[in-house]
Amino acid sequence: MKLKFLTSNMHKYNEISAFLGQLGIECQWVKMKYEEIQGESTEEISRDSAVKLSRQMDDKFFLEDTGLYINSLKGFPGPYSSYISKTIGNEGILDLLKNKERSAYFLTVISYFDGANVLTFQGKLNGKIAEEEKGKTGFGFDPVFVPENCEKTLAEMSIEEKNQHSHRINALRSFISYLGIED
Amino acid sequence: MKLKFLTSNMHKYNEISAFLGQLGIECQWVKMKYEEIQGESTEEISRDSAVKLSRQMDDKFFLEDTGLYINSLKGFPGPYSSYISKTIGNEGILDLLKNKERSAYFLTVISYFDGANVLTFQGKLNGKIAEEEKGKTGFGFDPVFVPENCEKTLAEMSIEEKNQHSHRINALRSFISYLGIED
C-alpha cells in the first residue's frame, strides 16, 4: 500500500514515514507548499487546504495541520504555530509564561482526500510547557513541550519514542484505522 | 463621491470615515468578515482577499489589512496581529520585549478593486513599543505604540489626532490621491 503525504516540512515527513514504514505502508512525499487560510481552528485550516488542493490533484492524498495550544494564553500560538515558532520561537514562549500556568496541548488534524470527499482525523497530546528549552531532536516547539506522564521534552526523544506519544501519530492511527489497517 | 469599505472592524471604519468625511467623501460600510490567507506579508494578504472578493462583488470597493512589525522579534506579530492581539494582547507584547530593542512600525495595505483590477496602496508609521500600556481610545496595539516624534501612545489620541499620523490614513492618502482627490 502507498499513501501520498503533502507537506513542505521534512520533519513531519520523517515522523510519519517512520511510523507507516513499520506497518509496511509506503509514504510518498509530495514536497510542496500550499496556501492556508487564517482559520479559527486547526481543523478548519487543514480541511480547507485539502478541499482546495483536491480540485487540482488527480489522486488520493493526505496532509496535516498542527497547532500548540497554551491554556493560559487563550490558545496561543494555536493555528499560527509555524509563524510564531519562526519569529519569537521557544524563547518567546518561555518569556510569555513567566508566572503563568503552563498546561498546553498539541493538536494535529489530518485531512484525507479519498478521491471524492475530504475526511478529517484528529490527534491530541496533553502536556505542559517546560521551564527551559531541552533537547535537540524534533522541530518547532518540541524543546519546550513535556508530554503528560513524561519527564523529558519531545526534543529529548528519538523519532520512535516521540511517535509513541505524539499528536501527529495519534491522528495517523485514527486515519489508518479508518482505512482498515491495524497498527 | 462614495466609496465602499469592506471590514468587520468598527474602529477601522470610524477612522477611515472620519477622514473621508472631512473631504466630502461618503464612506459606505460594507460590514462583513471575509477569508484571509496565511500570507508572508500584509500586502499579499490584503491583495489576495480583494482579488477573491472581486469575483463575487458587482461594484468597486476597497479593504485594508494592517500589521504591527516589531524589529527585534523578526517582525512578530506581523500579518497575524489581529489573532495575537486577541490572545496574548498588549501584556504579551510587553512581556516579550523585556530587555529587547523596542523599535516597530505599523503597515497598512489598502486594496482597491476598480471594477477590473486590484490596486494596492501602502501606509507606514514608524515608532516604538512603550514600556507600559497607556490610553483608552483606538483598538488593538494602540495602547503600546508611540509614533516617532511623539510622547503619547496612539490610544492617548483622539481619532483626529491619530489620523494625522496613522499608517491607515497614510495608505488612504495615497489611495485618494490616485483617485484624483486632494486632501
User: Which DSSP string corresponds to chain B?
Assistant: -EEEEEES-HHHHHHHHHHHHHTT-EEEEEE-----B--SSHHHHHHHHHHHHHTT-SS-EEEEEEEEEEGGGTTTEETTHHHHHHHTHHHHHHHHTTTS--EEEEEEEEEEE-SS-EEEEEEEEEEEE-SS---SSS-TTGGGEEETT-SS-GGGS-HHHHHHH-HHHHHHHHHHHHTT---
Average pLDDT over residues B57-76: 96
Name the residue with cell 495517523.
Answer: A172
For the stretch B22-43, pLDDT in tens is: 999 999 999 999 989 998 899 9
Interatomic CA distance for residues B150 and A55, integer angstroms: 52
Interatomic CA distance for residues B142 and B162, integer angstroms: 10
d(CA B58, nearest CA chain A) in Å: 24
Q: How many domains does chain B have?
A: 1
Cross-chain CB nearest to A37 (options B38, B86, B87): B38
Interatomic CA distance for residues B28 and B1, integer angstroms: 10
- Contact criterion met (CB < 8 Å) for B80 and A38: yes
B33 contact A CB<8A? no
Interatomic CA distance for residues A171 and A162, integer angstroms: 14
Task: Measure CA of the first residue to CA of the last residue in chain B; give whole Å.
Answer: 14
- Contact criterion met (CB < 8 Å) for B73 and A87: yes
For the stretch A105-118, pLDDT in tens is: 999 999 999 999 99
B92 contact A CB<8A? yes
A147 contact B CB<8A? no
Instruction: Kindly state whether residue A121 falls inside one of the protein's structural domains.
Output: yes
Interatomic CA distance for residues A107 and B150, integer angstroms: 44
Average pLDDT over residues B118-143: 97
Interatomic CA distance for residues B43 and B171, integer angstroms: 12
Q: What is the CATH number of the domain that holds A50?
A: 3.90.950.10
The pLDDT value given to residue B58: 85
Relative orientation angle of helices A10-22 and A167-178, to the nearest 10 degrees: 50
Interatomic CA distance for residues B165 and A127, integer angstroms: 45
- Our measurement of the distance from residue A180's CA atom to the centroid of its chain's CA atoms, rounded to an integer in Å, reads 22
Instruction: Kindly state whether residue B123 falls inside one of the protein's structural domains.
Output: yes
ipTM above 0.85, yes or no: no
Cross-chain CB nearest to A96 (options B35, B45, B96): B96
Q: How far is CA B62 from CA B15, B45, B68, B92, in A?
A: 15, 14, 21, 32
Q: Is A95 a residue of the active site? A: no
Other C-beta atoms lying within 10 Å of the C-beta of residue A30: 17
The answer, yes or no, to whether residue B159 has pLDDT greater than 80, is yes
The pLDDT value given to residue B181: 85
Instruction: Kindly state whether residue B131 falls inside one of the protein's structural domains.
Output: yes
Chains A & B: contacts with CB separation below 8 Å: 63
The pLDDT value given to residue B40: 84
Domain limits at B17?
Answer: 2-178
- Contact criterion met (CB < 8 Å) for B76 and A95: no
What residue ranges of chain A have pLDDT lower than 50? none
Instruction: Kindly state whether residue A172 falls inside one of the protein's structural domains.
Output: yes
Instruction: Kindly state whether residue B137 falls inside one of the protein's structural domains.
Output: yes
Instruction: Kindly state whether residue B160 falls inside one of the protein's structural domains.
Output: yes
Instruction: Kindly state whether residue A183 falls inside one of the protein's structural domains.
Output: no
**Catalytic sites of B, residue numbers:** 65
B2 contact A CB<8A? no
Do B159 and B137 form a contact (C-beta atoms < 8 A)?
yes
- Which residues of B fall within a CB distance of 8 Å from A84? 76, 80
- Whose CA is closest to A169, among A136, A125, A138, A129? A125
Whole-number average pLDDT of chain B = 95
Catalytic position from the list A48, A58, A65, A142:
A65
Instruction: Kindly state whether residue A77 falls inside one of the protein's structural domains.
Output: yes
Share of chain B above pLDDT 90, in %: 93
Assigned C-alpha cell, A140? 518547532
For residue A84, give the chain B residue with the closest CA.
B76
